[in-house]
Amino acid sequence: MKRSLLKQKTVMQIGRDYHCEVLSQPLLADYTSIGIGGKAPFMLLLKEMKSMEGLLNQLAGENLPRRILGRGTKLIVRDEGVKDIVISLSKLPTAPRFSGNRVSVASGYPISRLVREAAAKGLSGIEFAIGIPGSVGGAVRLNASSFGGCMEEVVSEVTLFSPGKGVIKRKKSEIGFAYRSTSLGKDEVILSATITLKPSSSWKIQKEISYLQKLRRERQPIGQKTAGCIFKNPPGISAGHLIDALGLKGLAFGGAVVSKKHGNFIINRHSSTAKEVLALIELIKEKVYKALRVELEEEVIIW
């Protein structure tokens, strides 16, 4: 039998063994918020968290490289797609478990939904994440932040799969949180997080949430196809303000355009390709460097 056919049979079987939905040749554009990207050979949509460890061990044992997809809101996938198997966590139904001020939540859970559920229980501290469209796992991995709050402030522990070590726990002090990053290894997979919040009145929290949602609507191109902020903020300055100051809002390359609302967002305006978005990113970097001698660094993850 041909190697590719053998591999296909193996992946299908592994997917079935670990109760995943298996998609062959999925178009990753359909799984990213910017709506861009080529295919993966397979996508395994995990349906129960307890299968994760076995699945990851099995794929490693068969020498099948994999990537983890949260909700695809920080990703630009190249037009050629990826060669690795993509494991999606978006179908994990697990509800968060609240106990006193703490909540334990599976990594595929939408972070904004968690904010609302915490608010309903009178738990405060994670309101800053309202409107962040990603998963808890993605938010922890990238230390998502907004409106002065960040994941580092609320995460007390994560459970993760670490190749060679299996499922382990890491305390906040061992996660190495930094600006838009953590020190977690490239192949480590976050399975769940424990978040510690503070009691407050649901009414007060709701008021804060509504206020932050209003700010977000005013400042960000919500409802458009984007991948969040493209660049990290250089120390002490906002990348969006630099882009704005140079008059680059509205700058376009093919179907990709710099948002007129927020200079750090690129919108897939009409059927943009990854190539066009990446060319626009390069163009912005070039112009900012030429005018201000500031080197912008991508925050968005490129696959």
Ligand X SMILES: Cc1cc2nc3c(=O)[nH]c(=O)nc-3n(C[C@H](O)[C@H](O)[C@H](O)COP(=O)(O)OP(=O)(O)OC[C@H]3O[C@@H](n4cnc5c(N)ncnc54)[C@H](O)[C@@H]3O)c2cc1C
Residues binding ligand X (CB under 6 A): 33, 67-75, 89, 107, 132-135, 137-139, 141-142, 144-146, 189-190, 220, 222, 226-228, 301
Backbone angles phi, psi at 265, to 5 degrees: -110, 135
CB of 231 to ligand X, least distance (A): 12
Measured on CA atoms in the order 19, 21, 25, 26, is the torsion positive or negative?
negative
Q: What is the DSSP string of 8-47?
A: HHHHHHHHHHTTEEEEES-BGGGGSTT----B-SEEEEE-
CB of 204 to ligand X, least distance (A): 21
CB of 181 to ligand X, least distance (A): 10
Measured from the CB atom, the residue of 220 and 272 that comes closer to ligand X is 220
Measured from the CB atom, the residue of 209 and 227 that comes closer to ligand X is 227
Measured from the CB atom, the residue of 118 and 132 that comes closer to ligand X is 132
Q: Which amino acid is at 176?
A: G
* Residues in a beta bridge with 167: 161
CB of 149 to ligand X, least distance (A): 10
CB of 227 to ligand X, least distance (A): 6
Measured from the CB atom, the residue of 11 and 115 that comes closer to ligand X is 115
Number of alpha carbons in the 13 Å side-chain half-sphere of residue 176: 5
Measured from the CB atom, the residue of 125 and 228 that comes closer to ligand X is 228
- Measured between alpha carbons, how far is 139 from 74 in angstroms, rounded to an integer? 10
- Measured at the CA of 60, the angle between CA 51 and CA 109, to 5 degrees, comes to 40
